[in-house]
Amino acid sequence: MTDKAVSKYLARYAEPESFAAEELPGEFAHTLIVPAYGEGQSLFDTLGSVPRGPAGDTLVVVVLNAREDAPPEKHEVNAEARRRLHETSSETREIRSPHPVSILTYPNGRVVLIDRALPGHFLPEGQGVGLARKIGNDLGLRLHAAGRLTTPWLHNTDADALLPNDYFDQTLSIPAEGNAAALYFFEHAFGEDETLALAARLYEISLRYYTLGLAWAGSPYAYQAMGSCLAVRPDAYAEVRGFPRKNAAEDFYILDKLAKVGSISRLAGRPVILEGRLSDRVPFGTGKALSDLSTKRRALAEFRLFHPLVFAHVAAWLRVLSATALASGRIESALEQLPRDTPFFRADLLIESLERMGAFPVMREAIERSGDAASMLRAFHTWFDAFRTLKLIHALRDGGLPSLPYVEALAEAPFTGLTSTTEDDVEWLRRALAAEERTLAAAPAGLPVVTGS
Q: Mean pLDDT throughout 198-224?
A: 95
What is the SS3 string spanning the chain? CCHHHHHHHHHHCCCHHHHHHHHCCCCECEEEEEEECCCCHHHHHHHHHCCCECCECEEEEEEEECECCCCHHHHHHHHHHHHHHHHCCCCCEEECCCCCEEEEEECCEEEEEEEECCCCCCECCCCCHHHHHHHHHHHHHHHHHCCCECCCCEEECCCCEECCCCCCHHHHCCCCCCEEEEECCEEEECCCCHHHHHHHHHHHHHHHHHHHHHHHHCCCCCCCCCHHHEEECHHHHHHCCCCCCCCCCHHHHHHHHHCCCCEEEECCCCCEEEECCCCCCCCCCHHHHHHHHHCCHHHHHCCEECCHHHHHHHHHHHHHHHHHHHCCCCHHHHHCCCCCCCCCCCHHHHHHHHHHHCHHHHHHHHHHHCCCHHHHHHHHHHHCCHHHHHHHHHHHHHHCCCCEEHHHHHHHCCCCCCCCCCCCCHHHHHHHHHHHHHHHHHCCECCCCCCCC
Of 96, 127, 101, nearest to 114 by C-alpha is 101
Q: Is the pLDDT of residue 238 over 60?
A: yes
What average pLDDT is seen over the chain?
91
| Segment 140-161, tens digit of pLDDT | 999 999 999 999 999 999 999 9
Q: Mean pLDDT throughout 169-184?
A: 92
Phi, psi of 216 (to 5 degrees): -60, -35
Domains and CATH numbers, the chain: 3-300 (3.90.550.10), 304-442 (no CATH)
| Segment 293-351, tens digit of pLDDT | 655 666 677 899 999 999 999 999 999 999 999 998 899 999 999 998 888 999 999 99
| Segment 184-195, tens digit of pLDDT | 999 999 888 888
Query: Max alpha carbon distance in the chain (Å)?
Result: 73
Question: pLDDT-based confidence at 1, cuts 50/70/90?
Answer: very low
Of 109, 83, 116, 86, nearest to 15 by C-alpha is 116
Question: pLDDT-based confidence at 439, cuts 50/70/90?
Answer: very high
The Cα–Cα gap between 61 and 297 comes to 39
Q: Mean pLDDT throughout 61-82?
A: 97
Report how far apart, in Å, the C-alpha atoms of 64 and of each of 26, 113, 196, 211 are.
Answer: 23, 7, 27, 31
Ramachandran quadrant class, 362 (left: phi over 0; alpha: psi -120 to 50; beta: rest): alpha
Assess contact for 272 and 184: CB atoms under 8 A: yes
How much is the pLDDT for 66? 97
Q: Is the pLDDT of residue 282 over 60?
A: no
Ramachandran quadrant class, 56 (left: phi over 0; alpha: psi -120 to 50; beta: rest): left
Determine how many CB atoms are found less than 10 A away from the CB of residue 360: 14
| Segment 371-391, tens digit of pLDDT | 899 999 999 999 999 999 999
| Segment 253-275, tens digit of pLDDT | 999 999 999 999 999 999 999 98
Of 99, 131, 135, nearest to 118 by C-alpha is 99
Rounded CA Rg of the chain: 23
Q: What is the pTM of this model?
A: 0.92
